């Protein structure tokens, strides 16, 4: 069972050859910190999102490794992915970090996606 942390979930993360069930659960900030701290989380963050990663560290004190290149994630039955969704941060086009005001005005939510066996199998 592998545990991952990222900012999004994609269909390409799931096996194309089998059906699975995906369970989505909202996590509190403290629960997200627990998952990141207690499990050997494999980061699937993209280095190009450094400003969002810095905002996460500033706002929540969550520190997740930033791989040089994001790994190819292949979720299997029993695997889990903690996702931090962000709403309200502007796209950075002319700078490389967010202001404290932008970070405090944004909405951050954590969810845990767990992969289970399909009942079709």
**Fold that domain 3-117 belongs to in CATH:** Rossmann fold (3.40.50)
Phi/psi at 79 (5° precision):
-75, 160
- How far is residue 10's CA from residue 38's CA, in Å, rounded to a whole number? 24
The arithmetic mean of pLDDT across residues 92-116, rounded, is: 84
Domain ranges in the chain are 3-117
Quick one: pLDDT at residue 58? 86
Give this prediction's pTM: 0.84
Q: How confident is the model at residue 70 (pLDDT cuts 50, 70, 90)?
A: confident
The residue with tokens 């005001």 is 101
3-state secondary structure 14-77: CCCCCCEEEEEEEECHHHHHHHHHHCCEEECCCHHHHHHHHHHHHHHCCCCCCCCCCCCCCCCC
Taking the C-alpha atoms of residue 85 and residue 74, their distance in angstroms, rounded to an integer, is: 20
């Amino acid at each position: 069972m592998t545990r991952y942390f990222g900012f999004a979930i994609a269909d390409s993360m799931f096996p194309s050859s089998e059906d699975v069930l995906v369970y989505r659960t909202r996590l509190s900030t403290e629960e997200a910190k627990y998952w990141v701290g207690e499990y050997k989380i494999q980061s699937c963050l993209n280095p190009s999102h450094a400003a969002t990663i810095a905002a996460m560290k500033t706002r929540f004190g969550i520190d997740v490794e930033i791989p040089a290149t994001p790994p190819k994630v292949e979720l299997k039955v029993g695997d889990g992915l903690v996702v931090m969704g962000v709403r309200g941060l502007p796209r950075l086009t002319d700078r490389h970090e967010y202001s404290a005001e932008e970070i405090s005005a944004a909405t951050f939510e954590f969810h845990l996606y767990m992969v289970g066996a399909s009942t079709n199998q």
